[in-house]
Structure 1
Amino acid sequence: MNKFLSTCVVAIALASTLSAGTSHAQQDKKFPVISLTAGMNIIKAEVVANEAERQQGLMFRPSMGPNEGMVFLFGAPAGVCMWMKNTLIPLSVAFIDADGKIVNIEDMKPQSLDSHCSKRPVPYALEMNEGWFKHKNLKPGSVIEGLPKLN
């Protein structure tokens, strides 16, 4: 009986390890990429447009390229808040209005559950490596071009 019980425990542990690996593989999949511009800067931004994609975001990614990011599409202006659950890299998020103007920028620490919110309703948020906007001298009022049209 002890041998049977030990075998069951090993099988359960192996199954949970395999399923955890699968979920991480699914979590760090890449999404469609578009080119955005901010002044002379070109951004390769993955696009997340539905609730499941927005929830996944950049979770479990170990790194991101220097001009890579993720643009979140909300469909219409809304009060938007972001957090960093299971996100391993420090990020800055720009909340962007329907005209492509940055409303506000917030820095976010890895794996934090703190909320970082737009100062007014916005249809877009753009996550980049922490400090990217500051390094490129982009601030509220700067324009991000190439964002997908609102429905």
Structure 2
Amino acid sequence: MERRAGMVVLATVGVLVGGALVLQSGLWVDLVGTGEYERGTVTVTEGEDTADRTETPVGTATTGTTVAVRENDAGATLATVEVRIADTGTKRYVGLSETDSLAPDEGMLFVHEEVGTHAYVMRNMSFPLDIVFVDADGTITTIHHASLPEPGDETLHRYEGRGKYVLEVNRGWANRTGVSVGDRAELPERVA
């Protein structure tokens, strides 16, 4: 009887650990699917103001810009994203925390003064994110699939990466579009 109870506990722990790994890695997107999305490179070009495109106004929005991501250096475009630019300390701190949701092709591009190791947290967020770190030359260095903190959990998990830019988009975006580490983000001259 004790052996059977031990096996049940061990199996339960295995299922929980496996489920946590699938959720954290973003593999759930491949299993469940998320609809149809354009694949390709992310290119950034200057555009119109997109501050009013979400239900909740974002105090951090400056002007809208499109970011495109390409597979490696000269590959096909994997995706394009309309982004708001967060280029000051205050804008980077607030980020998307005052936003209720993003459309599949929307995000925020955080611009730091110089290349370094930066950490992002899910402070006051309403939805999970992919956090994509981009080096000064546009190379994607790290991609995190960030979950919302559990209700009542005051601890903020730090998502760290090296780069000068950080692109935040809906969680699962990197999996849907095929964007991965080593691909290139095309950045506009005004933020590069």
Counterpart mapping for 1:2-151 below 5 A: 30-38=61-69, 39-111=77-149, 113-118=156-161, 121-148=162-189
Structure 1 residues 43 and 116: CA distance shift in structure 2, 3 A: same
TM-score computed with the length of structure 2 as normaliser:
0.60
| Separation (CA, whole Å) in 2 of partners of 1:29 and 1:82 | 16
Contact 2:134 2:167 in 1 (8 A): yes
Contact 1:98 1:123 in 2 (8 A): yes
Contact 1:97 1:122 in 2 (8 A): yes
- Could you say what secondary structure the match of 1:134 adopts? helix
Q: Offset at 1:107? A: 1.1
| Separation (CA, whole Å) in 2 of partners of 1:29 and 1:50 | 9
Contact 2:61 2:86 in 1 (8 A): no
AA of the residue aligned to 2:79: N
How many residues matched? Answer: 125
Structure 1 spans left out of the alignment, 5+ residues: 1-24
TM-score computed with the length of structure 1 as normaliser:
0.75
| Separation (CA, whole Å) in 2 of partners of 1:128 and 1:147 | 18
Greater CA drift, 102-111 or 68-77: 102-111
Structure 1 residues 68 and 26: CA distance shift in structure 2, 3 A: closer
Structure 2 spans left out of the alignment, 5+ residues: 1-55, 70-76, 150-154
- Could you say what secondary structure the match of 1:135 adopts? helix
| Separation (CA, whole Å) in 1 of partners of 2:86 and 2:171 | 19
- Could you say what secondary structure the match of 1:36 adopts? strand
Structure 1 residues 36 and 150: CA distance shift in structure 2, 3 A: closer
| Separation (CA, whole Å) in 2 of partners of 1:26 and 1:137 | 30
